[in-house]
Amino acid sequence: MRTSLFVPRSSFLHSLDPRTKLLALAIACTGLLLFDDPLLLLWPALGLLVASALGRVFRRFLAGFLVLGAFGMLAFLLWPLFLTLRGQGGPAAWIYGAGIGMRLTEILLAGFLLMLTTGNEEVLAALARMGLPFPIVFSFGLTFRLLPSLLVTAGHVVEAQRLRGLKFDEGGLVTRARRYVPLLVPILACSLRTARQMSWALEAKGFGPSTRPEEPDSLRAGSAGSSSGRVPYIALRMRARDWAVLAGAAALLGVAVWARFHGIGIVAAAHVF
């Protein structure tokens, strides 16, 4: 069972420090939130494609686009409806909906690209080094591992129903969707059972929100190490390429803020609101 989306490769993106990738993701999402013009948002989409090629995960990235693009398409369809109900319909509403859909898809794809090029352990080590409390970092780690487990459980339930003669690929779209609804009950039951077993395991180990680990003797004696008592096995080190990427991302964010204040990239919103 795979517990991560990470694809091991030897590439430029893989070689970056995970803190660099996390900060670059935050900067990218902030920049995307500034615009809603679909024409301008084509450039970040092109940048994501280039980044996936640099990370040698282009095919998996395109596969993720087919899945995550559904959320953008849903936003594209719902926003014009919402604006029409408010009396602000017309072509401008569809342009605005397209921009919102593209923005949502690109934010999701940026996070997906991070997970393709960064292991779970690297992300958790980066969050810990960035000052997050250990219980929060541990919760993130459980989330990263439970989501793939949930998908595997759903696949097992679907295969079990296929063996019992349930046809998922027959009938219309509504009929097929109805066949998947009863599967939510066993999937939810398995998820709750897994969560309960996980809580028992954590309680048995004395883990809680206020847990403070005991400090090893070597650290009490003044040896080099983490002041919290935990010594991560992943060594993180910022290199010149990391600082260059962060500087470039910050420069692009500065250009985005300048463009936003000068009315660039908000043409659709100007006509809708």
Q: What does the mean pLDDT of the chain come to?
A: 80
pLDDT reported for residue 197: 84
Mark the ranges of the chain whose per-residue pLDDT is less than 50: 1, 213-227, 269-273
- Closest by Cα among 69, 51, 55 to 108: 69
* DSSP codes, 135-195: HHHHHHHHHHHHHHHHHHHHHHHHHHHHHTT--SSSS-HHHHHHHHGGGHHHHHHHHHHHH
pLDDT reported for residue 86: 72
pLDDT reported for residue 3: 56
pLDDT reported for residue 235: 79
In a 13 Å sphere around the CA of 179, the CA atoms on its Cβ side amount to 16
- Closest by Cα among 103, 129, 131 to 29: 103
135-191: per-residue pLDDT in tens?
A: 788 878 877 777 667 767 777 887 888 888 777 777 776 677 677 777 778 878 887
Structure tokens at 88: 């602000």
Residue type, 172: G
Burial classification of residue 125, based on how many CB atoms lie within 10 Å of its CB (0-12 exposed, 13-18 middle, 19 or more buried): buried
CA distance 259 to 173: 44
Structure tokens at 222: 């003044």
pLDDT reported for residue 2: 56
- The angle at the Cα of 39, spanning 35 to 42, to the nearest 5 degrees, equals 85
Q: What is the 3-state secondary structure (H, E, C) of 228-243?
A: CCCCCCCCCCCCHHHH
pLDDT reported for residue 230: 62
